[in-house]
Amino acid sequence: MLQQTTTAAVVPYFARFIDRWPTVFDLADADEAEVMAAWAGLGYYSRARNLIAAARVVAAREAFPSSEAGLRELPGVGAYIAAAVAAIAFGRRAVVVDANIERVVARLFAIGEPLPQARKSIRQRTDEVTPASRVGDFAQAMMDLGATVCTPRQPKCLVCPLAERCAARATGEPSRYPVKAVRRANPVRTGAAFWIERDGAVWLVRRPSTGMLGGMRALPDDGWSAAGEGSGEAPVSGEWREAGAVRHGFSHFDLVLRIRRTSIAHQPPGAGEWWPVGELADAGLPTLFAKAATRALDDSAAEHQPQHRDHQDDEAEIPSVVRSRQRADPGPQDCDRQDHPVAPPEQGNGRRDRQQQRDEPDENRNDVQHVS
Ligand code: SF4
């Protein structure tokens, strides 16, 4: 959960998960749709799918692997998690490099090569300074140093225990490290989502279990993807009203999602379910579709109350039916742009926000905003 997400955002999710699925065996037996719904708003939904898959592997073996190699065989476990778990949980010597350690080591040795190419050198340097014993303590100490002292913008070199041997400090510009490559702008894709209403309920579908936002409940859409634009085709014929759009950032592209509304009296084709609009907060919509629902509801309110003000503040206009869930689950933390840290700028990546961003690719960078 902590990959790409702050501790503050994760705590309520973690508490609910542990309460509902207290052991790895409970999680292995869980209904995947329920787990995905409990994850809604946290973003990076492939983590949830991998978590269930990993729980099933561990439950089948009746043991957690303790070596890095064994851990890496679990779905969703990459180099960072494997090293961190092996060191912290099992006391094995492993080279742990999360974003905080990466920053500390890049500064300690004033590594001038830009990221991501510098990662090999940073790992080598980290290996050099990693002790043979108490590896877990060492890793956690380095993480905390990065989170609280060697922070991204204004490192507190005066109180740093590494100050005397720090090459970056000696340059007088410690915050110049790690050197970052210039980032290219994400491509922008367009698509449409469809709000179909009947008797106070909205038509929701279940997204395919694999792929972006896989297995989540959602509004029907027109097939947009990272690779291409949506078709614009509505799932049913009828009188469609344009309800505006939301912009949503994924790690590899930005999506401008137009929202269209209609009311019908019949059943739409294909699988789906009518969900009471007043209970949308319980639908487990991922943030993108919760915001799309908000846009649709706001447009509906504006249509019936012409004086309804044109909100600028995305959060302020989330209707209560959606907002209750969204506020409990602070979705805006589940972002992923490299220039968009999930932790406060001067708090590093935060204690236990030691997630290595490289273990898992995108999914959900949540900076939804209105574009119309
Ligand atoms: S001396 Fe400054 S730049 Fe160097 S590790 Fe410590 S806080 Fe970071």
80 CA → ligand 1 middle, Å: 22
Which ligand 1 atom sits nearest the alpha carbon of residue 155?
7
User: Residue 57's pLDDT band (boundaries 50, 70, 90)?
Assistant: very high
Predicted local distance difference test score (pLDDT) of residue 312: 41
Q: Which residue has the higher pLDDT, 350 or 175?
A: 175
**Residue 198: pLDDT above 70?**
yes
Query: Parallel, antiparallel, or unpaired: how do β-strands 241-249 and 217-218 relate?
Result: unpaired
pLDDT at 349 over 80: no
> Which residues face 193 on adjacent strands?
221, 259
> How much is the pLDDT for 307?
58
Instruction: Give, for ligand 1, the residue of 101, 102, 103, 104 to mutate: max count of ligand atoms closer than 8 Å to Cβ.
Output: 104
Per the model's pLDDT, the better-predicted residue between 284 and 190 turns out to be 190
In the chain, what are the domain boundaries?
7-176, 188-327
Ligand 1: nearest atom to the Cα of 156? 7
Distance 354 CA to ligand 1 centre (A): 18
Neighbour-count burial of 239, counting CB atoms closer than 10 A to its CB (0-12 exposed, 13-18 middle, 19+ buried): exposed
Architecture of domain 188-327: Alpha-Beta Complex (3.90)
Ligand 1 site, CB within 6 A? 104, 107-108, 149-150, 155-157, 160, 162-163, 166, 168-169, 174
Atom of ligand 1 nearest to the CA of 146: 8
pLDDT tens-place string over residues 5-27: 788 889 999 999 999 999 999 99
State the average pLDDT over residues 134-140. Answer: 96
Q: Which of 101, 103, 169, 347, when mutated, tests ligand 1's pocket best, judged by the most ligand atoms within 8 Å of its CB?
A: 169
Structure-model confidence comparison of residues 209 and 148, the more confident one: 148
Rounded CA separation 348/155 (Å): 10
What average pLDDT does range 122-139 have in this prediction?
Answer: 97
From ligand 1's centre to the CA of 221, what distance in Å?
49
Using alpha carbons only, what angle is made at residue 195 by residues 194 and 200, rounded to the nearest 5 degrees?
160
Quote the pLDDT of residue 318: 40
- In terms of average pLDDT, the best of 209-213, 215-219, 314-318 is 215-219
Ligand 1 atom nearest residue 161's Cα: 6
Cα(110)–Cα(23) distance, rounded to whole angstroms? 44
Please choose, from the candidates 92, 43, 17, 28, the residue with its C-alpha nearest in 3D space to the C-alpha of residue 355.
Answer: 43
Banded pLDDT at 185 (limits 50, 70, 90): confident
Instruction: Tell me the CATH class for 7-176.
Output: mainly alpha
Point out the ligand 1 atom lying closest to the alpha carbon of residue 157: 2
Residues 283-329: pLDDT tens digits? 889 989 999 999 999 999 988 876 544 444 343 334 444 544 443 33
Confidence of residue 210 (pLDDT cuts 50, 70, 90): confident
Which string of b and e fits 269-295 if b means at least 16 CB within 10 Å? eeebebbebeebbebbbbbbbbbbbbb
What is the rounded (10 degree) CA torsion for 235, 240, 242, 243? -80
**For the chain, how many residues are written?**
372
**Mean pLDDT in residue range 167-196:** 93
Tens of pLDDT, residue by residue over 226-265, are 888 999 999 999 899 999 999 998 878 999 999 999 999 9
Protein residue with its CA nearest to atom 2 in ligand 1: 157
Q: Which residue type occupies 6?
A: T
Question: Out of 43-52, 116-125, 313-322, which region has the weakest mean confidence (pLDDT)?
Answer: 313-322
Residue 306 is predicted with a pLDDT of: 61
Please provide the average confidence, as pLDDT, over all residues in the chain: 83
Q: Which residue has the higher pLDDT, 310 or 356?
A: 310
Q: What pLDDT does 222 receive? A: 95
Site to probe by mutation for ligand 1, drawn from 100, 108, 158 as the one with most ligand atoms within 8 Å of Cβ, is 108
With a CB cutoff of 8 Å and minimum separation 6, the contacts of 59 are 24, 25, 27, 28, 29
How many Cβ atoms from other residues are within 10 Å of residue 73's Cβ?
A: 12
Q: Which of 41, 16, 15 is nearest to 325 (CA)?
A: 41
| Top mutation candidate among 122, 142, 148, 166 for ligand 1, by most atoms within 8 Å of CB | 166
pTM: predicted TM-score of the whole model, two decimal places: 0.61
Maximum alpha-carbon separation in the chain: 74
d(C-alpha 183, C-alpha 338), whole Å: 8
pLDDT at 342 over 70: no
For 181, half-sphere exposure in the C-beta direction (CA atoms, 13 angstrom radius) is 10
Q: Whose CA is nearest to atom 4 of ligand 1?
A: 166
Joined together, the tokens standing for residue 247 give 């912009």
Percentage of residues in the chain with pLDDT exceeding 90?
Answer: 65
